[in-house]
Structure 1
Amino acid sequence: MTTPMKSWKLIALIALPAWILLGSGCAVISESECQAGLWYERGLEDGARGRSQGTVYKIAQKCHEYGVRTDTAAWMRGHEEGVERYCTPENGFVVGRRGRDYEGVCTGPTADLFLANYERGLAVYQAEQQYNALVNRYEDVEREIYRVEGALEEAETKEEARALRSQRRSLRREMRHLEGEMMLFGGFGAFNPLLFY
């Protein structure tokens, strides 16, 4: 079995384009925001959040529906400044660690550092998600064992009791397997992010 860190890095690199596409579907701007203008400030905010330049075209289209003209030049100036704040190596890790999308806005020498740290943070985030799924399954299995043991006490036939004991053995084997899997992440109730940096 490959280590969780290696498999999640591979998944992160494969799935990144899909996340970029999925992240583009949220509401762009409200009518009151269009009316307020503040295009430089809006660009600064969008850039600092790592939104791509394509955002301004969505904003312009939406504001046009409200009869408002967008100052795209002011938005672009703000966006450029916001992107500089966004594209730091430290923020790359934070964005990845939170499982946020990266829209490829970083360029120049900071881009590689940002992306390397983003991938590190994303690997930790995804490992934690995988760990949480293991914990949830473990708790489900534990509850199922209690249910089976209760049913075993009330079993009316040998065949029913035999089937329940077999089910309990299978569930206990699964629990041991899950415990082993969780050890790769630090242990039960002890996710260790340092294992995935």
Structure 2
Amino acid sequence: MKNIIMASVLMMLAGCVSTSQEDLAQEGDWRQIGYQDGIRGHTERSFSQLSKLGSVVMAEYDEGYLEGVAEYCNPNHAYMIGLSGQPYEGVCEGMEDAQQFRMEWQRGWNEYSN
């Protein structure tokens, strides 16, 4: 039960971003843009993609992205991510718990799809 509550809170936080990425780019907060991409389980964006938002600081984006992905890839939340209908983009591959994450996500996704 505790894991379900934690996963729900995590998903709400990931979805409740009050500042747009354009605003964050204008403010120069590339770390937050990376964090948002990572915590949502999106694949990392390229310099070319990010430069459309402004003068990107790739090191800051990468730092935030890695932090976000580390939180997203928690296998204790994977079931709820799948159950919510969020597709998995493979961002956890290469991490220690990648297989467990995939299995739990798939279990949730299967329930969502049925």
Asked if TM exceeds 0.5, the reply is yes
Q: 1:38 aligns with which of 18, 29, 38?
A: 29
Residue 123, structure 1, aligned to residue 114, structure 2: no
Distance in 1 between residues matched to 2:32 and 2:78, nearest whole Å: 22
- TM-score when normalising by structure 1: 0.44
The Cα of 1:91 is off from its aligned counterpart by 1.8
Contact 1:29-1:59 within 8 A present in 2 as well: no
In structure 2, list runs of 5 or more residues that go unmatched.
1-19
Partner residue, 2:75: 89
Shift of 1:40: 1.0
Query: Counterpart of 2:97 in 1: which secondary structure?
Result: helix
Q: Which runs of 5+ in 1 are unaligned?
A: 1-27, 128-197
Ranked by relative contact order (alpha carbons within 8 Å, sequence separation 6 or more), the top structure is 2
> Over aligned residue pairs, what C-alpha RMSD do you find?
1.8
Structure 1 position 38, deviation (Å): 0.7
CA contact (8 A) 1:56 1:75 kept: no
**Counterpart in 2 of 1:162?**
none
- The answer to whether structure 1 residue 59 and structure 2 residue 45 are counterparts is no
Identity of aligned residues (%): 31
* Structure showing greater Rg: 1
User: Aligned residue for 1:130?
Assistant: none
- Give distance in 1, aligned partners of 2:79 and 2:48: 28
> Any runs of at least 4 consecutive aligned residues in structure 1 with deviations exceeding 6 A, and if so which?
none
